Amino acid sequence: MPPILGPQHPSGKHLEKIKYPHADIFAVADRLVPEEQARLAEIHEFLQTEIRPVVGEYWDREELPFDLLPRMAEMGLGEIELTNTSRLYRGLVYAEVTRADVSLSALVGIHNELVLGLIDKLGSPEQKDTWLAGLRQFTKVGCFALTEPDHGSDIAGGLATTAERTAEGWVINGAKRWIGAGTFADFAITFARDTADDEIKAFIVELDRDGVTRSKISRKMGLRIMQNADLNFDNVLIPHENLIPGAESFANVNDFLCYSRAWVGWQGAGLQLGIFDKAREYAVKREQFGRPIAKFQLVQEQLSRILGNATASLAMMAQLAEVQEQGKLEMPFAALAKATTTRLARESAAAGRNIGGGNGILTEYDLSKMMDDAEILFTYEGTYDINSLIVGRAVTGVSAFV
């Protein structure tokens, strides 16, 4: 991707003539074929000019900008996983969305990795016909209902939501928590334990059915645009054909959970690109003691550290994309990547906010917003600690938590 023109210095000095290096300083994106490079550059431009400047107020109000979804669909962000593109390209697209806003990247990633992709791979022909066209255009939205109020990290063994097969259909009972897009989604891919064989299975549950209630989880410190919800199912009757045929066992969806964890690794990398962008922009514009703070040694050290963390994260994710392209992605790889890039994002976010000084605590400068969002990445899709233990089990042969 080409260098990005640096901002005009308030004093009107020569800084407008400087072309600052792109945050992808080792040019990971140059590994893409020319067509993918051009498409990625187009998406970057769209996100930075049409999305990033306007999302801050939505973040402050805990609102999702529904008016932006049609343009996001036009840019292909609703159908990333159905394109015949490289894993590296798809990962870099996820990183670019995160670079603009973490909440919208959560919507785009969950939509593609855990809803659209799962229905495309595991759904029945009828389910595909019903949902895929709308999902590709964001005119239909699904959510992924796995986590429960009492079961997060131990969900595979502790899942309590039940599904009972009756003559009329399946009856779903239980509760789900932290469900992204759950407040407005058309349906939920809902995981429930079959009372007959004790297997965890996945069902499409339309959220306008009798017995479904949903409520927004408010006052989150980060990811405030993403509408997380509590979902409750009280004797919800769904047709037999709403069982997803390729997901009649929890083992069948493990690949999707692994891909999703890898996607959060790309979020960690993309967030750091955004942190570097905003911290550098602020440093070259902000004057103290008669000169831009970018001239101060401590500021330059922090910018260098942010860039180093971002570069290391991008390199790790590029290698992971190659492993995934070869069909060799396993959970310990995804867990290591997710744990590492989100840990580094947390450090980069603190450094970026520090460069902002007093202004760094205001969301209008993005730096505090990204610091809060980094905490969410560090926690969801497997906490840092759980992912570390998954890696630990792989490298030692013994489990610390099972």
**Is residue 177 domain-shared with residue 242, that is, in the same domain?**
yes
Q: Is residue 124 part of a domain?
A: no
Task: Specify the number of domains making up the chain.
Answer: 2
CA distances 245 to 62, 122, 124, 248, Å, are 36, 6, 6, 6
Q: In this predicted model, what pLDDT tens digit does every residue of 201-215 receive, in sequence order? A: 999 999 999 999 999
Domain that holds residue 314: 23-83+252-394
Tell me, what amino acid is at 106?
A
Bridge pairing between strands 187-194 and 162-165: parallel
> What pLDDT does residue 21 have?
82
**Is residue 162 domain-shared with residue 290, that is, in the same domain?**
no
> What pLDDT does residue 357 have?
94
Q: Domain boundary at 189, 222, 247, which?
A: 247
Q: Is residue 322 part of a domain?
A: yes
Q: If the chain, 402 residues long, is cut into consecutive pieces of 10 residues, what is the mean pLDDT of each piece?
A: 39 54 91 96 96 95 95 97 95 97 96 95 97 97 94 81 97 97 97 95 97 96 95 98 92 86 95 97 93 95 97 97 94 95 97 95 93 95 91 94 74
Q: Domain boundary at 247, 271, 288, which?
A: 247
**E strand or H helix at 202:** strand 200-206
**Residue in this structure with the two tokens 């971002």, named with its chain if needed:** 310
CATH classification at residue 218: 2.40.110.10
**Is residue 206 domain-shared with residue 303, that is, in the same domain?**
no
Q: Is residue 274 part of a domain?
A: yes
**Is residue 259 domain-shared with residue 390, that is, in the same domain?**
yes
Structure tokens at 393: 């089990």
> What pLDDT does residue 153 have?
75
**Is residue 279 domain-shared with residue 182, that is, in the same domain?**
no
Q: Is residue 10 part of a domain?
A: no
> What pLDDT does residue 18 have?
63
**Is residue 258 domain-shared with residue 311, that is, in the same domain?**
yes
pTM confidence score? 0.92
Q: Is residue 131 part of a domain?
A: no
Q: Is residue 196 part of a domain?
A: yes
Bridge pairing between strands 142-145 and 187-194: parallel
Chain centroid offset of residue 54 CA: 19
**Is residue 185 domain-shared with residue 224, that is, in the same domain?**
yes
Q: Is residue 225 part of a domain?
A: yes
CATH classification at residue 282: 1.20.140.10
Facing residues of 213 across strands?
232
**Is residue 279 domain-shared with residue 373, that is, in the same domain?**
yes
> What pLDDT does residue 248 have?
85
Under DSSP, the state recorded for 184 is: T
Structure tokens at 333: 């790889």
Q: In this predicted model, what pLDDT tens digit does every residue of 246-274 receive, in sequence order? A: 998 888 888 888 889 999 999 999 999 99
**Is residue 232 domain-shared with residue 275, that is, in the same domain?**
no
Torsion sign over Cα 200, 78, 325, 24: negative
Number of CB atoms found within 10 A of residue 313's CB: 27
**Is residue 289 domain-shared with residue 381, that is, in the same domain?**
yes
Under DSSP, the state recorded for 151 is: B
Q: Is residue 132 part of a domain?
A: no
> What pLDDT does residue 336 have?
96
**Is residue 240 domain-shared with residue 261, that is, in the same domain?**
no
Q: Domain boundary at 227, 247, 267, which?
A: 247
Facing residues of 189 across strands?
144, 204
**Is residue 151 domain-shared with residue 227, that is, in the same domain?**
yes
